[in-house]
Amino acid sequence: MKDYKKRIIGSLIALIVLVGLIKLVSDYYSIPFYTYPNFGIKIPPGNKRIGIDVSHHQDKINWKQVSEMRDLGKKVDFVFMKATQGNYLTDNQFSRNWSEAKDYNIKRGAYLFFDPRRNGKSQAQYFIRKAKLKKGDFAPVIDFEDLYGVHPEKARKRFIACAKLLKRHYGIEPILYTYSDFYRTNLTEDFEKYPLWIAHYKSYGKPRIDHDYCIWQFSDRGRMNGIKGNVDFNVSDLSESELNKLRIGLE
């Protein structure tokens, strides 16, 4: 009889857990993304701003066409572009992209693709020399998404050294770009102070991360007039004033 009761209790516990999991999965997949036919993707609801990020992979961009494109009333509100990689490479489209995005009044930002095999300060110094951010531009972004075989603790120290120098130079905390699994696995509470731009590609559901984020890169399959091939799409639910807090000299 006791074994029977234990089995009944065990079955009830298993049923409760199963119901909870079903509800969790149901909630996760029930977010009604909205289809934008011209952008060629579904965009999460409730986000006030749409942005893209680009590099040499998009080749030569027609920024006039980018600035003029609309889909169901939505337009590109901001763009981030690759500036440097480590302390040894400048994106070959950066100078042109940087200049022309400004010509068409698109809020712009630049990112450093972080190489944890290299000295953090030297990467920041290289970025500062090449990117030349001004008042009104977004805070510098550090793209940290691969350890390249470096021990996580050493990689974190080099990142922090890079971030400290960028903050000292621009007077604003740099933005951290990474993806959900990398953040959970390799980063610590020391990284919670950085505004977070999170990459998470799913047809439905928000990023699986216990951390506030200011920008969500949700697709690498978007389409944009003036850009050949696919382009990354991002959203932000920040208001204009909140977004300005991420821009140099506008806090």
Whole-angstrom Cα distance, residue 232 to residue 50?
A: 11
Q: Which of 68, 100, 145, 189 does the annotation list as catalytic?
A: 145
φ and ψ of 134, to 5 deg: -125, 175
Measured on CA atoms in the order 77, 43, 64, 231, is the torsion positive or negative? positive
Coil, helix or strand for 111?
strand
Whole-angstrom Cα distance, residue 111 to residue 99?
A: 15
Active-site annotation holds for 145 = yes
Torsion of CA 133, 97, 245, 77, to 10 degrees: 160
**Residues carrying an active site annotation:** 145
